[in-house]
Amino acid sequence: MSDYARAAATLISGAGSAIAFTGAGISTESGIPDFRGSQGLWKRFDPKMATRTFMLESPRVFWEFYAMRFEALARAKPNPGHKALARLEREGILEAVITQNIDGLHTEAGSRRVIELHGNIRTSRCDECSSTRPTEDCIREVMEWGKVPACDCGGMMRPAVVLFEEPVELFEAALRIAQESDLCIVVGSSLTVYPAAFIPEAVKSSGGRLIIINADPTPLDGVADLVIREGASDALTGALEALGIA
C-alpha cells in the first residue's frame, strides 16, 4: 500500500463531511478524451466549437462536433474510479459528487447525489422552449438526414450541456454544499474552468482540506493538503483499500 493511499485514508476518515469534485480526467480510463490532458480534445479541435456563438453561427458543424463526442461517450462504462466514489457515498463517507463531466458515468456507477454542473450530453433540449429529446435521436437527424434537429416549436435542438458563454445554473447550489464540507477530493480536473473551479477553492477557504488526484499539476496544488499524481482509478481504489473498504 502506498504512502499516498494511507495519507488519503487519514484525511478521508478524519472528515465530517466530504465531497468529490471531478473533471474529465476521471473518465479518460473509460475511453472518453479530456480537454487539456496529453491526449486532450483541444489538441485537435478549437475550443470555440463549444461556444454558444459557434452553435448559433455554424449549427451543422457544431452538431457534427457533438455527434463525435457523443459517439465516444455512448460506448463508455464507469471505471473503478467512478465506482470507488459511489462506494464512498454508500459507506456514508461522501456527501455528494460535484462534476464538470457531461457523460453521466457517476450516476451509472451508482452515485446518488450527483451535481452535473455542465449538464448531461445524453439529453438534448430546445434552445427556445426547453422541451427535451434524447441526443441520440437528434444525432440521427444530423448524421443520416444532414439537417440540424428542430423542435416542434421551430427552435433549434441542442445538447443539454452548458456551453462556453452560458451561465452555470447549478453553481450556487454546488457552492452551498462546498461551503458546508470540510474535505474536497478533486479527481481528474485541470482546475482551470471557472466558475466550476471555485468549488474546491470554496472548501479550502471555508477551512476545509483538499486532496488533489490529477495526472498533471493544477493551480491549487500549492494549497492542497495532499497531491496524488497518479491515475484516478489507482489512487481512489488505493484509498479505499487503505480505509479497509476495498
Q: Rule CB under 6 A: choose which of 87, 106, 118, 158 binds ligand NAD.
A: 118
Residues 190-229 that bind ligand NAD (CB under 6 A): 190, 192-193, 213-216
Q: Long-range contact list for 170-176, CB < 8 A, 24+ apart?
A: 170/115, 170/116, 170/117, 171/117, 171/195, 171/196, 171/198, 173/115, 174/98, 174/115, 174/117, 174/199, 175/199, 175/202
Query: At 78, which amino acid appears?
Result: P
The answer to the question of residue 109 lying near ligand NAD (CB under 6 A) is no
Three-state DSSP at 82 gives helix
Count of residues in contact with ligand NAD, rule CB under 6 A: 28
- Of 148, 225, 164, 154, which Cα lies nearest the Cα of 196? 164
Annotated catalytic residues are 118
Region from 27-35, 106-114, 129-137, 139-147 binding ligand NAD, contact rule CB under 6 A: 27-35
Task: Write out the binding residues for ligand NAD, residues 45-104 only, by CB under 6 A.
Answer: 100-103
Among 11, 12, 20, 37, binds ligand NAD (CB under 6 A): 37
Of 28, 111, 124, 135, the one binding ligand NAD (CB under 6 A) is: 28
Across the beta sheet with 132-134, the strand order is 132-134, 119-126, 157-161
Residues that bind ligand NAD (CB under 6 A): 23-25, 27-29, 32, 34-37, 40, 100-103, 118, 188-190, 192-193, 213-216, 231-232
